[in-house]
Amino acid sequence: MRPPEIPPCATRELNVSDVFTYLPRQGSRLISRALLRGIWTYRGFIAGSVKREFQSKYRNTMLGATWAVLSPLAMILVYTLIFSQVMHSRLPGIASPYAYSIYLCAGVLTWGLFAEITSRGQVMFIENGNLLKKLSFPRICLPIIVVANALVNFAVVFALFIAFLLVTGQFAGVPVVAMVPVLLLQVLLAIGLALVLGILNVFFRDVGQFFNVAIQFWFWLTPVVYPFSIIPEPMRPWMAWNPMVPVIQSYQRIFVEGLWPRWETLAWPLFVALLLCILGLKLFRKRSSEMVDEL
């Protein structure tokens, strides 16, 4: 017996071919050559911003960037010691004593990436209001900087997680490569939502406050720290509308069970991600000139 997957529902019958044809065609109209050229021209500005933010996080500390390793390492060790050795928590059908701590890390670490991008993204234009007023640069660089910073932090944390799996002999093997497309999908979903929230938050400041509350409920409505099997049967079809459920379950399926994701379950998150990106780009093109005045 393995940890159960979410049940089929109407969202799972989404035609994947439509996702890969109609929505990208709409999005390509919004991503102009001038926009891409501007991003490429200011690639040095983007890289410099990411480097400065990483360095500023550990400035004036005795250990410096070592804290980037110590903090996530401590979290992984706590999960392993408390849940595996003290509480002896087990997943149904999984014999490994480390299964639940791996389940937690696979869910919590990847959710942390999603939360960081969306939480930082919804205030990215407000926090950089002075920069937008004083300097002339493509405003689309700001979402890219947010994603790049989050990925740098995530890379450090997840490298430690992989090292933990190798040391304990729990590495999932070849299916780990499936993490790459799942991660790209998650980032696409996060940046699409962040772009929409970031623009709306400039004009309606309640949006950011609402999202800070909503993401806490969203976390607990996603099987990150608990198995899907404990969810009451009547609620399970509703959970399928949550696009983060199949994404998190894909990570857990890879790292806990050593199996490939069920790709068909990712059609709904992909549809939502592309829809949010297109909506975000439309809002950006329509409102980017007004944001400076509003700020």
pLDDT above 70 (res 30): no
pTM: 0.83
% helix / strand / coil in the chain, to the nearest 5?
75, 0, 25
Q: Which residue has tokens 């938050």? A: 201
HEC-encoded secondary structure of 183-240: HHHHHHHHHHHHHHHHHHHHHCCHHHHHHHHHHHHHHHCCCCCCCHHHCCHHHHHHHC
For the segment 201-242, what is each residue's pLDDT rounded down to a tens digit?
Answer: 999 888 989 999 999 999 999 999 888 888 888 888 888 899
**CA 2, CA 259: separation in Å to the nearest integer?**
11
- Cα distance between residue 15 and residue 2, in whole Å: 28
Taking a C-beta distance cutoff of 8 angstroms, is the pair 42, 138 a contact?
yes
Tokens of 1: 């017996």
- Is residue 284 a contact partner of residue 34, using CB atoms and an 8 Å limit? no
User: How far apart, in whole angstroms, are the C-alpha atoms of residue 26 and residue 95?
Assistant: 47
- Which of the four pLDDT bands, split at 50, 70 and 90, describes residue 8? very low
Who contacts 194 (Cβ-Cβ below 8 Å, separation ≥6)? 117, 118, 120, 121, 122, 124, 143, 146, 280
Looking at residue 44, its amino acid is G
| pLDDT beyond 50 at 9 | no
Please determine, for residue 65, whether its predicted confidence score (pLDDT) is greater than 90.
no
Mean pLDDT, rounded, for 11-15: 47
pLDDT by residue (tens digit) across 244-280? 999 999 999 999 999 999 999 999 999 999 999 999 9
